[in-house]
């Protein structure tokens, strides 16, 4: 329950970013932090990054079938994705699709288009970017997944997440963004571990499926 509340809480955080934008207009002297950059329109972007990993008790080849070959099917197991479908022919060797269209849960957005930037069956990694459908305060969202072979028929998934948010944000809002980002990471890693090892969805995903069935 706590994790689900944290995921849904990202919607409130992003909606509150509008207030931050008003505040920065009133206080233009707010300093750019070390994680900030300027976009092509010279608007400040606050960058948030998270990296984590988990060991999974199946082979790397089997895990890659879910993460890589199943790129368009994350709705089958990922709590954050209510529905997903592939779009376009893959532009990288072995890539199942060029993009996927996702109905996401709890990110202040509904239908998001995510485009593959990198994909390799040999190296078992992919990278994708949200290119359409994000909340207006989000400038960028990029994820990279890498599957690593381990001894004794085990594997590991390494996840790198990056969000760009129009800022600058104050310390409180930055901590809220970081907390929600880390919670989404925690849920995602648990989702894939449970699904890969058991063939069943996690408890959090099942609860979301039950909620959707009542809508």
Looking up residue 47, the CATH number of its domain turns out to be 3.30.530.20
Contact 45, 21 (CB under 8 A): no
Q: What CA–CA distance (Å, rounded) separates 171 from 156?
A: 33
Number of structural domains in the chain: 1
Q: What CA–CA distance (Å, rounded) separates 107 from 91?
A: 28
pTM for the structure as a whole = 0.82
pLDDT (tens place) for every residue of the chain, 215 residues total: 434 444 434 444 444 444 444 444 333 333 334 566 655 565 778 999 999 999 999 999 999 999 999 999 999 999 999 999 999 999 999 999 999 999 987 655 579 999 999 999 999 999 999 999 988 888 899 999 999 999 999 999 999 999 999 888 888 988 998 998 999 999 999 999 999 999 999 999 999 999 999 98
Domain membership of residue 86 as a residue range = 2-213
Residues β-bridged to residue 128: 116, 143
């Amino acid at each position: 329950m706590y994790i689900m509340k944290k995921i849904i809480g990202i919607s409130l955080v992003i909606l509150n970013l509008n207030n931050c934008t008003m505040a920065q207009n009133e206080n233009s002297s707010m300093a750019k932090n070390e994680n900030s950059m300027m976009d092509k329109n010279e608007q400040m972007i606050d960058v948030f990054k998270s990296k984590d990993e988990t060991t999974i008790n199946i082979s790397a080849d089997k895990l890659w079938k879910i993460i890589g070959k199943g790129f368009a099917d994350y709705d089958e197991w990922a709590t954050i994705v209510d529905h997903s479908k592939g779009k376009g022919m893959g532009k990288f060797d072995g890539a199942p699709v060029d993009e996927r269209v996702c109905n996401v849960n709890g990110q202040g957005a509904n239908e998001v288009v995510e485009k593959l930037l990198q994909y390799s069956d040999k190296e078992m990694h992919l990278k994708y970017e949200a290119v359409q459908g994000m909340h207006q305060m989000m400038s960028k969202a990029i994820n990279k997944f890498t599957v690593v072979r381990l001894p004794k028929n085990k594997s590991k998934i390494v996840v790198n997440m990056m969000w760009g948010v129009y800022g600058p944000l104050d310390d409180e809002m930055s901590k809220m963004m970081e907390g929600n980002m880390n919670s989404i990471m925690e849920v995602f890693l648990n989702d894939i571990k449970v699904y890969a090892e058991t063939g069943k969805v996690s408890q959090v995903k099942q609860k979301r499926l039950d909620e959707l069935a009542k809508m």
